[in-house]
């Protein structure tokens, strides 16, 4: 476990170093002024100088991401279970979900803000909405992709629907669910920030717009960097948890 975590930290650290070198290279080659593209050192200094502002807005966005992520997981898993349990419900509900997914997320954000208000809940619902579909489809796909021989054997042994669901379908669906969860972890911060762009008075998305309007590009980059760190942490944590849950599956360790 410790070796796995150390390996993950090394990979992330290496990726960050490469990113900084590319950033410095672009800055050096283009000779872009700091009010358009600040250097990594200027952004680091801005983070230190404005840590209290960044911490406050980061905390708001972090809560929106986590709550939306958890609710999206719960609703996605629940919907997947409904789909596998009732084909009639699936036939009626799936087209509606696909229709909602076809609507651009930027079109939904103003409506949610109008209905729910400018508080945290519109951003939480936005985060939940953006990850709900991939989790639902990934989990349902895993639930139905069970070896028919396994299902027939369980039926011959007298397994009930509940037993078959909890002992066979759900455990075998976890590798598929893990893919959906990792995808959701990468998308969740996007949902919260889009909600804050549309209407908010706090959060990293609001801070980006505030800094951009006042040409404080170093502050805007600071908010972007913190958001990227949130995404990396959420993805790494999700990846670790799902790998532990599916370590019995040889494919999950590839």
- As a whole number of angstroms, the distance between CA 88 and CA 160 comes to 20
Whether 30 is in a domain gets the answer no
Q: Determine, yes or no, domain membership for 107.
A: yes
Across the chain, the runs of DSSP E, i.e. the strands, are none
Q: What is the CATH number of the domain that holds 245?
A: 1.10.3720.10
CA-only gyration radius of the chain, Å: 22
pTM for the predicted model, two decimal places: 0.86
Which residues span the domain enclosing 219? Answer: 55-253
- As a whole number of angstroms, the distance between CA 67 and CA 54 comes to 20
Q: Say what the pLDDT of residue 102 is.
A: 78
* Token pair recorded at residue 23: 């950033």
pLDDT in tens, the chain (254 residues): 555 556 666 777 788 889 888 988 888 888 888 888 888 899 999 999 999 999 999 999 999 999 999 999 999 999 999 988 888 888 888 888 888 777 777 778 788 888 887 888 889 999 998 999 889 999 988 888 877 777 677 777 766 677 777 777 888 888 888 888 999 999 999 888 988 888 778 899 999 999 988 888 999 999 999 999 999 899 988 988 888 877 766 665 55
Q: How many domains does the chain have?
A: 1
Question: CA 144, CA 148: separation in Å to the nearest integer?
Answer: 10
Distance CA 118, CA 113 (A): 6
The percent helix, strand, coil of the chain (3-state, each to 5) is 85, 0, 15
CB atoms under 10 Å from CB of 70, counted, come to: 14
pLDDT value at residue 6: 62
């Amino acid at each position: 476990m410790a070796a796995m975590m150390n390996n993950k930290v090394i990979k992330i650290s290496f990726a960050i170093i490469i990113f900084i070198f590319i950033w410095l290279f672009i800055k050096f080659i283009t000779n872009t002024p700091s009010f358009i593209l600040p250097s990594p050192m200027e952004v680091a200094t801005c983070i230190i100088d404005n840590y209290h502002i960044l911490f406050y807005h980061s905390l708001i966005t972090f809560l929106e991401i986590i709550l939306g992520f958890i609710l999206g997981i719960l609703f996605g898993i629940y919907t997947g279970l409904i789909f596998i349990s009732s084909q009639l419900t699936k036939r009626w509900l799936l087209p509606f979900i696909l229709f909602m997914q076809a609507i651009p997320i930027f079109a939904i954000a103003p409506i949610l803000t109008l209905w729910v208000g400018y508080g945290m809940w519109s951003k939480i619902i936005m985060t939940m909405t953006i990850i709900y579909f991939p989790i639902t489809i990934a989990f349902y796909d895993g639930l139905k992709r069970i070896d028919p021989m396994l299902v027939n054997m369980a039926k011959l042994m007298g397994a009930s629907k509940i037993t078959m669901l909890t002992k066979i379908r759900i455990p075998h669906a976890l590798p598929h669910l893990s893919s959906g969860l990792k995808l959701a972890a990468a998308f969740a911060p996007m949902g919260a920030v889009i909600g804050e762009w549309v209407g908010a008075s706090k959060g990293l998305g609001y801070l980006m717009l505030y800094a951009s309007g006042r040409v404080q590009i170093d502050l805007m980059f600071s908010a972007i960097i913190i958001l990227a760190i949130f995404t990396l942490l959420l993805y790494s944590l999700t990846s670790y948890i799902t790998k532990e849950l599916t370590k019995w599956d040889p494919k999950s360790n590839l």
